[in-house]
Amino acid sequence: GQNIDQPTEMTATEGAIVQINCTYQTSGFNGLFWYQQHAGEAPTFLSYNVLDGLEEKGRFSSFLSRSKGYSYLLLKELQMKDSASYLCAAPSGGSYIPTFGRGTSLIVHP
Amino acid sequence: DGGITQSPKYLFRKEGQNVTLSCEQNLNHDAMYWYRQDPGQGLRLIYYSQIVNDFQKGDIAEGYSVSREKKESFPLTVTSAQKNPTAFYLCASSPEGEHQPQHFGDGTRLSIL
């Protein structure tokens, strides 16, 4: 199966920019998802990347480098409500079902 | 409004008891999934189903069972064989195929009495 690695926890200041990294196994790569999950709630879809480059969606952007097995989620103009866990997920081995990383807990402080 | 509904929100299980978690979706999605989430952990796949009357084991299927008699419904039974059932259980659905994001229910938190 897939092996997803992302940092456990990050902290940032309100109004700042933060980058959350994710590495994955490149073998059989078939796209990468980012989800946001507030404590005790359901994950919600943020972005999907299958081609190299940066995809921008408002304050959130996601980047992919297939050759390096690397992605990041960039959050700009951080708000307190952005405090959440950010899950990186990718399928592998010809399956379309993603394997999830452990999630990065982002704490935004004033 | 289309969505995916899990019930109950909280559930308590006694020793030796089987309990069933409900998951219903009205998104007309073919594929449905059950995940388990432990504190500080990612989501681990228990079972998934790509079509009615068919389902496949995920990474941690032991001690769990499912059925898929209707497209809209994918209940999960936590059996007494699951010795450590305390966790947050998430149901999801998606259109079948690549590049499709999953839509999640609000989860059921299961605890042992």
- Which residues, 6+ apart, have CB-to-CB distance to A8 below 8 Å? A102, A104, A105, B40
Classified as helix, coil or strand, B2 is coil
Q: Which of A30, A45, A50 sits opposite B101 (nearest CB)?
A: A45
Contact at CB, A96 and B102, closer than 8 angstroms: no
Contact at CB, A45 and B107, closer than 8 angstroms: no
Q: Picking from A69-78, B20-29, B88-97, which range would have the lowest pLDDT averaged per residue?
A: B88-97
pLDDT digits (tens, 9 = 90+) for A17-64: 999 999 998 777 778 999 999 998 999 999 999 999 999 999 999 999
Angle at B7 (CA atoms; ends B2, B8), nearest 5 degrees: 150
Q: How far is B18 from chain A (nearest CA, A)?
A: 24
pLDDT at res. A28: 74
* Contacts with B44 from chain A: Cβ below 8 Å: 100
pLDDT at res. A1: 65
β-bridge partners, A35: A45, A87
Please tell me if residue A8 touches chain B, with a CB cutoff of 8 Å: yes
Please tell me if residue A3 touches chain B, with a CB cutoff of 8 Å: no
pLDDT digits (tens, 9 = 90+) for B46-105: 999 999 999 999 999 999 999 999 999 999 999 988 889 999 999 999 997 778 899 999
Other Cβ atoms less than 10 A from the Cβ of B76: the count is: 23
A7, A27, A102, B26 from A65: Cα distances, Å: 18, 13, 20, 36
